[in-house]
Structure 1
Amino acid sequence: MISPPVPQGIVPVTYVHLLYEYLARMGLDAERLLGAPKPAVDRGGPGRYDVQAWGALLAKAAQCLNDPLLGLHLGSTITPRHLGMLGYVLLACGDLGAALARFEQYQRLLYDVNPLRLIASPEEVVFEWGVEQGRPGPLVDECAVTALVQFSRDLVQVGLGLRYVSFVNPAPTDLQPYLDYFDCPVLFDQPSTRIAMPIAALQHPLRSPDPALLEMLSQQADALLAELGPRDDLQRQLDLCLTQMLLSGEPSLAQAALALHISPRTLHRRLAAQGLQFRGVLEALRLRLARQYLQDQRLQLAEIAGLLGYSEQSAFTRAFRRWTQGSPLAFRRAAQQAAAVGGRVNLPSP
């Protein structure tokens, strides 16, 4: 079992205010209940709040309220000001597609935890967050996903027709509140957090587009983004490197370090700083690639084993069973059946 890294990252203070205001509307003393003062907004910058501290506040509130669905309830109350500068940038866009493109560009101003990836196809666009920087937990994830969906709905004042939503966390006891809110299939225990919406939804016009205001606000957002500094893209670079090296067999840390033009000690140290180990990164990459390759019916299992750096198909099968408690062939059949009905395979993460 691969141990996940400790979550790291930040959210804006204005986003944290969402919880304090939610509790206040319920007639509760938020600061007393949470045991922490309402964080002050930094007028000179985005105002940052540690994501682990944010998760602790949500957990405390959910416990006191006896509300395991707090993430859904809280995220659905989002307003532009809770998103800080990013909220007003999105409001000034011409259509939902332009707004979501800006969201991708500036998402670190709102949720600087796991990087956002956009996956587009002729039928749908998928917003995906992995677990490279750790798993903040169900409440943090559900609040963030619900907030993005709610804000998008508010922008266009119509339904989005979501294809599906997925979470990396274990399934709750009762799925119905999630199905009711998102109005689409909702999956848990997935390898990544995803929101999938039809391409047609991106064409919905916004209520008050303002190109001049958008330009001015974007310049301010660029400045705030620059203050956050560069993100360490080590794992992305390592994944790209390892994907190529797997074609020639199983790579070692020393070989990967050489390809990245750094010393093995430096690679080990930089991975450790992110709570990662080389073996864990390699295994997680192999699992992601295996899932991708198995959905291509043209590839034989022996070919997939070779693409993943295994000298024998049996070694790949043993590893896949260790990762998922199922066989590669069972996953392929499930993927084929899911594709036939427009769904996705629901397998546990490593």
Structure 2
Amino acid sequence: MGFAPVSGRRGARTMETTGVIASSAMNGMLASISLGGLDMNAVSAGVGLGSNALFADSEFTPLAAFTCALEVASEEKGDPLLGLKLGKEFEFQALGSLAALFLTAPTLKHGLIQFSRYFPALQSNTRSALVVENDVARFSYSIRDNTVRHKTQDAEFTESVLNTILATTIGEDWQPLCIEFEHMPGENLALYRSHFACPLAFGRRENAIVFPNKFLDRPIGTGGDAQHHLRVACELSDILGRREKRLDLVTALKAWIAAALCRHASIDVEDAAADFGMSLRSFQRKLADCGVNYAELRNVVRMEIAKSFLANTHLSMSIITDRLGYSELSAFARSFRHLTGFTPARFREATRNQERSPRPVAAWE
């Protein structure tokens, strides 16, 4: 997502700051994906959200899973600008109290400042700022987490959500001066230009929307509900005071492996150590302190994702094999049978007929 506060932490190089996002935001985004004609179950399964064995916390989701879900959906749809389209249709109310805080602010300036201030209650490991210079306002954001590898669709999604909110708030005369992206447009510059009726800039240090500062004094809605706004701000302050949600090492690593598999990237332990900001020796020592072996954890992630694919989608065995990073179907089948006791086909058959056969039949039975 992306509207994040200046938290004073750079994050991303230590395990204690691996990012999360509220499940309500993830669910809202997945609902947008479903409305766009994609298989929400396949996207969820691919990023590791189809199994409670991987991510049991129902309140928060790994940030890497959120950003990767957008990337997977874009690839499945064959649409490099899918994030922009999903963001335009995203239900802002899915952000819960944070949306209420913004919508009850007296002015746009107050709303953006408060939104940034309390954003850690929704998402961590992001940086944003509202900067006003002369007659120009610039609202910027950037995910600061090295374990989140793929952020292009997230940037597009967030820019689109923000642009839609601002257009709704300001009205017909809303017109950004420029929209900036961290990533490059590749071969899709013409598509970007057709989507936004304003100048665009790519390869920037942060994602941002630049607009005339005269809009900052515009009232939001009817001018804000002061009592409701204060009540929501107090609720969010309590949330921030109680906890600043972070992932533990093992959960963060599960999310990293799942995201890497989705993007057909390397899942070697050396790559994991580098993204988590540690030497290989330090990384393995931390895993050992948690009682975890990297190769075994990697297999657990693969198998749980495989189970979700088999139980909840109609993807062919060859596609599942490819998505899990196996060189051939026979290698996947052997590994699945060794680790679960079932052949992939038998597991799928048993889960599809669960009412008649409540327990999958082991391969050796």
Name the TM tier (shorter chain).
0.5 to 0.7
Tell me: CA distance 1:276–1:124, structure 2 relative to 1, closer, same or farther (3 Å).
farther
Which residue is 1:214 aligned to?
A: 229
User: What code does the residue aligned with 1:221 have?
Assistant: L
Q: Which of 187, 198, 207 matches 1:184?
A: 198
**Whole-Å Cα distance in 1 between the matches of residues 245 and 44 of structure 2?**
33
Q: Which of 69, 73, 78 matches 2:90?
A: 78
- Alpha-carbon displacement from aligned partner over 1:285-305 (angstroms, at most 9, x marks no partner): xxxxxxxxxxxxxxxxxxxxx
**Whole-Å Cα distance in 2 between the matches of residues 226 and 54 of structure 1?**
25
Aligned pairs for 1:49-88 within 5 A:
49-88=61-100
Which residue is 2:116 aligned to?
A: 104
User: What code does the residue aligned with 1:117 have?
Assistant: A
**Residue 20 of structure 2 corresponds to residue 10 of structure 1:** yes
**Residue 239 of structure 2 corresponds to residue 224 of structure 1:** yes
Q: Which of 19, 27, 41 matches 1:31?
A: 41
| SS of aligned partner of 1:172 | coil
- Alpha-carbon displacement from aligned partner over 1:125-176 (angstroms, at most 9, x marks no partner): 2122356434642011211221122122223333432121211112231223
Which residue is 1:329 aligned to?
A: none
User: Residues 51 and 136 of structure 1 are in contact (CA less than 8 Å); yes or no, is this contact kept in structure 2?
Assistant: no
Q: Which of 165, 179, 188 matches 2:179?
A: 165
Which residue is 2:217 aligned to?
A: 203
**Total equivalences in the alignment:** 230
User: Residues 162 and 182 of structure 1 are in contact (CA less than 8 Å); yes or no, is this contact kept in structure 2?
Assistant: no
**Residue 208 of structure 2 corresponds to residue 194 of structure 1:** yes
**Residue 166 of structure 2 corresponds to residue 152 of structure 1:** yes
User: What code does the residue aligned with 1:21 have?
Assistant: A
**Whole-Å Cα distance in 2 between the matches of residues 166 and 26 of structure 1?**
25
- Alpha-carbon displacement from aligned partner over 1:252-277 (angstroms, at most 9, x marks no partner): xxxxxxxxxxxxxxxxxxxx996389
User: Residues 18 and 74 of structure 1 are in contact (CA less than 8 Å); yes or no, is this contact kept in structure 2?
Assistant: no
- Alpha-carbon displacement from aligned partner over 1:164-218 (angstroms, at most 9, x marks no partner): 1211112231223333433222111112222211101112222142111001011
User: What code does the residue aligned with 1:58 have?
Assistant: L
Structure 2, unaligned runs of 5 or more = 1-11, 247-273, 280-365
Which residue is 1:275 aligned to?
A: 277
**Residue 137 of structure 2 corresponds to residue 122 of structure 1:** no
User: Residues 156 and 207 of structure 1 are in contact (CA less than 8 Å); yes or no, is this contact kept in structure 2?
Assistant: no
User: What code does the residue aligned with 2:155 have?
Assistant: D
User: Residues 12 and 84 of structure 1 are in contact (CA less than 8 Å); yes or no, is this contact kept in structure 2?
Assistant: no
User: What code does the residue aligned with 1:177 have?
Assistant: L
Which residue is 1:20 aligned to?
A: 30
**Residue 92 of structure 2 corresponds to residue 90 of structure 1:** no
Tell me: CA distance 1:137–1:273, structure 2 relative to 1, closer, same or farther (3 Å).
closer
**Residue 151 of structure 2 corresponds to residue 137 of structure 1:** yes
**Whole-Å Cα distance in 2 between the matches of residues 220 and 189 of structure 1?**
38
Tell me: CA distance 1:228–1:67, structure 2 relative to 1, closer, same or farther (3 Å).
farther
**Whole-Å Cα distance in 2 between the matches of residues 225 and 80 of structure 1?**
21
Tell me: CA distance 1:159–1:105, structure 2 relative to 1, closer, same or farther (3 Å).
farther
Cα deviation for residue 46 of structure 1 reads: 9.6
Tell me: CA distance 1:38–1:78, structure 2 relative to 1, closer, same or farther (3 Å).
farther
User: Residues 128 and 141 of structure 2 are in contact (CA less than 8 Å); yes or no, is this contact kept in structure 1?
Assistant: yes
Tell me: CA distance 1:127–1:68, structure 2 relative to 1, closer, same or farther (3 Å).
same
**Whole-Å Cα distance in 2 between the matches of residues 39 and 165 of structure 1?**
37
| SS of aligned partner of 1:173 | coil
- Alpha-carbon displacement from aligned partner over 1:102-144 (angstroms, at most 9, x marks no partner): 1121222344232112222121121223564346420112112
Tell me: CA distance 1:131–1:100, structure 2 relative to 1, closer, same or farther (3 Å).
closer
| SS of aligned partner of 1:197 | strand
Q: In angstroms, what is the RMSD of aligned CA positions?
A: 3.2
Structure 1, unaligned runs of 5 or more = 232-271, 278-350
- Alpha-carbon displacement from aligned partner over 1:48-89 (angstroms, at most 9, x marks no partner): 221111122112211221111111011111223222210011
Q: Which shifted more, 30-39 or 219-228?
A: 30-39
User: What code does the residue aligned with 2:86 have?
Assistant: L
User: Residues 76 and 147 of structure 1 are in contact (CA less than 8 Å); yes or no, is this contact kept in structure 2?
Assistant: yes
